[in-house]
Structure 1
Amino acid sequence: MKKTYLFPFASLLIIASLASCSKSGKSDKTGLAYNKQEYGGFQVNNKFKRGPGPGLVEIEGGVFVMSGSAINVPGEELSNYNHKRETTVSSFYMDETEVSNTNWLEYLYWIRSNFPTDYEYYYNELPDTLVWRRPLSYNEPYVDNYLRHPAYQDYPVVGVTWEQASRYCEWRTDRVNELLLRDRGYMTSFKDKNNPAGTATAGAATASTSPKEPFNTVLYQNNQYDDKGKRAMKDLSPGATATAAPGTTGAATKPTRNVRLEDGILKQPYRLPTEAEWEYAALGLIGNTEYENISENKIYPWNGLGLSSAKKKTRGLILANFKRTKGDYMGVGGSLNDKGGLTVPVRSYLPNDFGLYNMAGNVNEWVADVYRSKTFEAADAFNPYRGNFYQDKKMADASTGKLEVDKYNHAVMTPAVSARKQTWAEKQAAAAKTGQPAVDSLGNPLATNTYADQRGYRDKASELYGETTLITDKSRVYKGGSWDDQAIWLNPATRRFLQQDESTADIGFRCAMTMLGASEIRSFGKPQFKPKTQKAFNSRSR
């Protein structure tokens, strides 16, 4: 039985309304009122509504068998698949489509606009268009045109390394959060910020007073970006002082502050999906699920064993962009089948049951994980991932909490010094011995960085690179199959690897985002336990 994963929009409004009404404006443990200056000014968002950032769709997580869609063919290389294991993935958000050439050109344009003389920065983010060159093919037109010509503007960007894709995710996070803050009035609007000095609207910062450094989410949350808009958050703490509105000489207004994480307004960072998330999303088994029963498994992001449509109007059309045989890239002239000699637009073919396009074919996609052939024999069963490298934000001034920044206005990160929260004494000892590792309560030095996946400990792959293996700590997984692959690679369980600083003409990417809060995305119409309403506390009656 096939179910479409769609729900009426009205139900979302009802759920959001019920969720917001169910939360009290008082502490259930102290009785003190929230959001009241006279009670201390502790602020709580009672009307939080979560939702995806631009371009993302909701993926409700759950249990599935990692590599459960693998096809065991006699004589086939088994390392193409993961070790089969029951795995649970948290709910998350994922890009509806692959990142396109236009999306990447927007990134390049922003770099050129904000750092016009930093040619190295711009050059480092240019995709390698030379990936189209092959000794015995005439692909030179794609070298010159594929990235920039409008004929390919909606096609997936290729020639990007894993490292470039990760940096794009960071950049996208800051642009999305800046847009939210400026459009909602928490910061100066783009219109007022970009107006010539002296023409900004009343009560808004002028171009000369607004910070000139590019917006950075981490630094903004650390109060290192001072730009308050006309609807800036009220600061209810008793010690807060009122100041005049930026760019004005009028009377002082009520105290304001930057948006905090606790306000629930800023989006979580965009990032590359983990391998488990990507495979789970590609399968889209939710469309075949009812009451925890999966009626039909899949070997592709669509149902059935075939590669072509069975519907009357599209019968026989290939369902993804791939290479049918070693020399057949798009079918016969006059009746093209998948209609793509190379890549195709990112919204081609039908989306899977999560609403994701091209989760098989078109381009392979980078995922976050470091590659090891047997990762999932030992990986955690909940949100498995290999590649953790823990870092801390580097402090510039411990007395003020100010973070150190680089020339691009990013917080400087350093390897984590401890796998646990240090005591205050340990932190002071580490600060007193600059360059020396912190020590624990017994005087033993703490590790300078922490790995959760045993890289550099039991794994000796890097030491044997070039002798018995081509795998290192920089080998990253990519999945999905491409325009240059045959059907075997369209199975979501398949996996390959490439060094994170290398790129090809058949690897692109899409972003993901962590979903916070309840795992269930839509509870409307589903059985629920209803908790009793808490009795209100009245301090005057005691």
Structure 2
Amino acid sequence: MKVLFTKTAIILLGAGAMLSSCSKHQQSEKTGMAYNDKTNGGYERFRQTHPSPGPGLIPIEGGTFVVGGSADQDVTYDYNNVRRRVTIPSFYMDETEVANQDWLDYLHWISITYPQDRELYYNALPDTLVWRKPLSYNEPYVDNYLRHPAFQDYPVVGVTWDQAQDYCQWRTDRTNENILRERGNLVAWKDLGGTGKGKNATPAPANKEPFNTDVYLNGQIRGAGVDGKKMLPDLSPNAKPAAGANGKGGGKSVRPVRLEDGILKQGYRLPSEAEWEYAALALIGNTQFENIDDGKVYPWNGLGVRSAKRSTRGMILANFKRGAGDNAGVGGYLNDKADITAPVRGFPPNDFGLYNMAGNVNEWVQDTYRQTSFEEFDDFNPFRGNEFTNKRLADATKGLYAKDKYGRPIKDPSKSNKKMKYSELVAMQQAQGTGGTDPNAAPGATVPGAAPSTTASAAPGAKNDLAGKPYNADYRGYNDTVNTVLYGKTTLVNDHSKVYKGGSWNDMAFWLNPATRRFMNEDDASAEVGFRCAMTLVGAPEIHPEGKPHYSIKKPKPYKATR
């Protein structure tokens, strides 16, 4: 059952749309004041929406399932997959793995945006040397796999977990920028360089920094050559009129898009391990009235790896290694049609409509690896690897974000698990005014307003020593660690060990089970590991409301003042 698009709950959201319309009769339930009326202060109520997925994504309706439940054996004796019932909220997920063409788009953007920054481009390049083997002639793949058009719809490999993070941020910003330019909320693509003459002229933007979603939502991307021709009306009585035809005031008050408008997409990210496993199993195809008719060992039904359909009977359902030395099948009848990777839509999708959730390439997920994760994490939206941050302020009084040389907000480790008092926030900003290190600045350089650096490498016996192990307590737990001197000698597990799942073209069938899990350092890469992106779904979790009962939602009674 392939999911093609998100359908909204007609009853639930239909009522919400009536409540949230821009009618002049719309009013606050608690004060009786009219919304969207400039004469009373311009209180705004935005149209309630159930946003559609971003490009490339399809909706995954969440629910409860047993994480680790599809594992029927532990041939590696890792004991790292204890069964645990959890709930996964609805979310969006890439229909396919990120392909070579997608990564070439990313590299092209870097080359035209920062033509002189060879370091940035080099750091974004996948490690094509992952194909190089001392006793195998794979050298042609080193040069051809990423760039040759024959492989453009094959999954990108040689990408580290860190590089996948950077791609997700880039994809978020490019998607939102394109939405705003297509809508006219920012200058259109064709007018970016400045066009026209006289009153119809569009000047070139004074600020050449690339678009960043967080910075835009903070109101720091405005001005001539930036604002589009279809800016949204600003109903605030404090709004300043835009320049009129004579260059002076007199125009309409306008504003950029806000998060409350529901226009911009949530950020792309890697899926959590639990989300990935839930989406791969796709038990929705075996569910009726909350009853799961049959479990799964693979993303498809049955205990085997061959198709039972008449037209494709006997064909392998995924790209994997059937046995030692058998990566493709027999010449004249190549069963899985692949020797290394295969096109990202090369095999049938699962019941959520996701391709290659088993085989082809393993996929990075967001989680940090721990053997006991399944025993310890929360049972709602389980995840391990949170690193909470705050956006650094360049000006606390104006609320302006500090930016790095690429126009992105600088983020510092969060030191509190609750909202600080305003006096505490100002005091912290003043204390940070002495400067600190910017990871994107030149060596030894300091940035005004930078937060002091933190470290967990204190020597044993120091003040922050605990049981002979250095630590630096914080609310995130990220710095509560042991000395990493022995990392790689006695253990391969630390906070840089990230999970990957799914099995690859060079793996046996055991790894096709969605519950299996392995890990690798976040800065390592492999010819057998790629990734796909996910996105948080906001609002009602039900994807397919049709044919299901719902409670009716009544409109609130309008308030009428009485004498």
TM over 0.5: yes
Report the CA distance between 1:26 and its aligned residue.
1.5
Task: Kindly provide the CA deviation profile for residues 477-520 of structure 1, in whole angstroms up to 9, marking residues without a partner as x.
Answer: 00000001010000000000000001010100000001111121
1:161·1:501 contact (CA, 8 Å) conserved in 2? yes
Report the CA distance between 1:120 and its aligned residue.
0.3
Task: Kindly provide the CA deviation profile for residues 224-267 of structure 1, in whole angstroms up to 9, marking residues without a partner as x.
Answer: 11122111011110011112269x84874201111111111111
Residue pairs, 1:259-338, within 5 angstroms: 259-338=257-336
- Which residue does 2:217 correspond to in 1? 221
Amino acid at match of 1:105: L
Moved more, 389-398 or 149-158: 389-398
Report the CA distance between 1:219 and its aligned residue.
0.7
For the structure 1 residues 363 and 432, does the alpha-carbon distance in structure 2 shift closer, same or farther, using more than 3 Å as the test? same
Residue pairs, 1:75-94, within 5 angstroms: 76-79=75-78, 81-94=80-93
2:393·2:429 contact (CA, 8 Å) conserved in 1? no
Report the CA distance between 1:449 and its aligned residue.
7.7
Instruction: Specify the SS of the correspondent of 2:554.
Output: coil
Instruction: Specify the SS of the correspondent of 1:354.
Output: coil
Task: Kindly provide the CA deviation profile for residues 258-289 of structure 1, in whole angstroms up to 9, marking residues without a partner as x.
Answer: 11111111111100000000000000001101
Report the CA distance between 1:455 and its aligned residue.
4.6
- Which residue does 2:20 correspond to in 1? 23
Using the alignment, how far apart are the partners of 1:58 and 1:152 within structure 2? 28
Report the CA distance between 1:78 and its aligned residue.
3.5
- Which residue does 1:126 correspond to in 2? 125
Using the alignment, how far apart are the partners of 1:223 and 1:7 within structure 2? 35
Amino acid at match of 2:499: V
1:193·1:210 contact (CA, 8 Å) conserved in 2? no
1:139 aligns with 2:135: no
Instruction: Specify the SS of the correspondent of 1:93.
Output: strand
Instruction: Specify the SS of the correspondent of 1:63.
Output: strand
Moved more, 464-473 or 312-321: 464-473
Instruction: Specify the SS of the correspondent of 2:511.
Output: helix
- Which residue does 2:425 correspond to in 1? 427
Report the CA distance between 1:81 and its aligned residue.
4.6
Report the CA distance between 1:456 and its aligned residue.
4.4
Instruction: Specify the SS of the correspondent of 2:120.
Output: helix
Instruction: Specify the SS of the correspondent of 1:430.
Output: helix
Using the alignment, how far apart are the partners of 2:172 and 2:420 within structure 1? 30
- Which residue does 2:509 correspond to in 1? 487
Amino acid at match of 1:209: P
Amino acid at match of 1:23: S
Task: Kindly provide the CA deviation profile for residues 77-135 of structure 1, in whole angstroms up to 9, marking residues without a partner as x.
Answer: 24275221001111100000000000000000000000000000000000000000001
1:284·1:352 contact (CA, 8 Å) conserved in 2? yes
Task: Kindly provide the CA deviation profile for residues 365-392 of structure 1, in whole angstroms up to 9, marking residues without a partner as x.
Answer: 0000000111111111111111111111
Choose which of 463, 466, 476 in structure 1 pairs with 2:498.
Answer: 476
Task: Kindly provide the CA deviation profile for residues 403-423 of structure 1, in whole angstroms up to 9, marking residues without a partner as x.
Answer: 111111101111112111111
Instruction: Specify the SS of the correspondent of 2:493.
Output: coil
Instruction: Specify the SS of the correspondent of 1:282.
Output: helix
- Which residue does 1:104 correspond to in 2? 103
1:212 aligns with 2:208: yes
Report the CA distance between 1:473 and its aligned residue.
0.8
Across the aligned residues of Structure 1 and Structure 2, the Cα RMSD in angstroms comes to 2.4
- Which residue does 2:558 correspond to in 1? 536
Task: Kindly provide the CA deviation profile for residues 442-469 of structure 1, in whole angstroms up to 9, marking residues without a partner as x.
Answer: xxxxx988455x4543x64846423321
1:416·1:448 contact (CA, 8 Å) conserved in 2? no
Moved more, 390-399 or 95-104: 390-399
* Pairs aligned (count): 522
1:364·1:479 contact (CA, 8 Å) conserved in 2? yes
Structure 1, unmatched stretches of 5+, are 438-446
2:392·2:411 contact (CA, 8 Å) conserved in 1? yes
Task: Kindly provide the CA deviation profile for residues 285-308 of structure 1, in whole angstroms up to 9, marking residues without a partner as x.
Answer: 011011110000001000000101
1:416·1:449 contact (CA, 8 Å) conserved in 2? no
Moved more, 45-54 or 356-365: 45-54
Amino acid at match of 2:515: A
Report the CA distance between 1:472 and its aligned residue.
1.3
Residue pairs, 1:143-542, within 5 angstroms: 143-194=142-193, 197-199=194-196, 205-206=202-203, 208-209=204-205, 211-226=207-222, 227-244=226-243, 249=247, 252-434=250-432, 450=474, 452=476, 454-457=477-480, 460=482, 462=484, 464-539=486-561, 541-542=562-563
Instruction: Specify the SS of the correspondent of 1:65.
Output: strand
Structure 2, unmatched stretches of 5+, are 435-450, 453-470
1:222·1:402 contact (CA, 8 Å) conserved in 2? yes
Using the alignment, how far apart are the partners of 1:27 and 1:141 within structure 2? 67
Amino acid at match of 2:205: T
Question: Could you tell me the TM-score, scaled by structure 1's length?
Answer: 0.91
Amino acid at match of 1:174: D
Instruction: Specify the SS of the correspondent of 1:104.
Output: helix
Amino acid at match of 1:476: K
- Which residue does 2:468 correspond to in 1? none
- Which residue does 1:43 correspond to in 2? 44
Using the alignment, how far apart are the partners of 2:269 and 2:161 within structure 1? 11
Amino acid at match of 1:500: E
Instruction: Specify the SS of the correspondent of 1:367.
Output: strand
- Which residue does 1:70 correspond to in 2? 71
Report the CA distance between 1:10 and its aligned residue.
8.2
Report the CA distance between 1:531 and its aligned residue.
2.8
Instruction: Specify the SS of the correspondent of 2:78.
Output: helix
Moved more, 7-16 or 213-222: 7-16
Using the alignment, how far apart are the partners of 2:475 and 2:93 within structure 1? 26
1:131·1:503 contact (CA, 8 Å) conserved in 2? yes
Instruction: Specify the SS of the correspondent of 1:336.
Output: coil
Q: State, as a whole percentage, how many aligned pairs show the same letter.
A: 53
